[in-house]
């Protein structure tokens, strides 16, 4: 789905893809209500095996009274989600993205609001979900993002780290519906 984000479009400021546009607007017009990405491009759907589930992000910047530094918030819209197979992945990937964008725009990280139109648990997943719910929870890990990176396109996998992550026994062979 990254193709849609990388397509260049003509703006009065020049040619930019969707990510470039978000970064530009956050730096030049942070209180705009038009800062968003959208990968649900109807003309491309026929080429996809699965239509995008998480398809748009809207970025909203706020400022606390008396503070100079802005705060970046985001709303993730998702049409459909297999809760067992995708929820953790969707939340983590977009939360990390918000942290990355906030950092390179010199903003605080605010809220990530995740709107899911159809969050579902398949019948065959119910026993697995019950097992997961019955497990003893572990403390939340810590997220680290290399504070020296100031250019969004310079992030590498070495600039992102999860610390103090404790896991239970892995559940394998989760059946996936397409």
Catalytic residues: 53
Q: In which residue are the tokens 């095996």 written?
A: 49
Tokens 């930019």, located at residue: 16
Extended beta strands in the chain, E state: 9-11, 14-16, 36-38, 54-62, 71-78, 81-82, 108-116, 119-120, 142-145, 160-163
Q: At what angle do helices 83-104 and 126-134 cross, to 10 degrees?
A: 60
């Amino acid at each position: 789905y990254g193709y849609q984000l990388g397509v260049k479009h003509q703006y009065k400021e020049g040619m930019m893809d969707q990510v470039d546009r978000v970064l530009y607007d956050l730096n030049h017009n942070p209180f705009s209500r038009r800062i968003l990405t959208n990968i649900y491009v109807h003309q491309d759907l026929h080429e996809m095996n699965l239509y995008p589930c998480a398809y748009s992000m809207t970025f909203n910047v706020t400022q606390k009274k008396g503070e100079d530094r802005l705060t970046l918030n985001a709303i993730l819209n998702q049409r459909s989600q297999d809760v067992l197979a995708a929820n953790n992945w969707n939340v983590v990937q977009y939360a990390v993205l918000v942290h990355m964008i906030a950092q390179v725009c010199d903003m605080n990280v605010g809220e990530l609001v995740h709107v899911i139109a159809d969050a579902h648990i398949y019948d065959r997943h119910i026993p697995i979900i019950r097992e997961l719910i019955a497990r003893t929870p572990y403390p939340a890990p810590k997220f680290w993002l290399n504070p020296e990176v100031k250019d969004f396109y310079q992030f590498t996998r070495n600039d992102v780290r999860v610390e103090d992550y404790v896991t239970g026994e892995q559940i394998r062979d989760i059946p996936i519906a397409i």
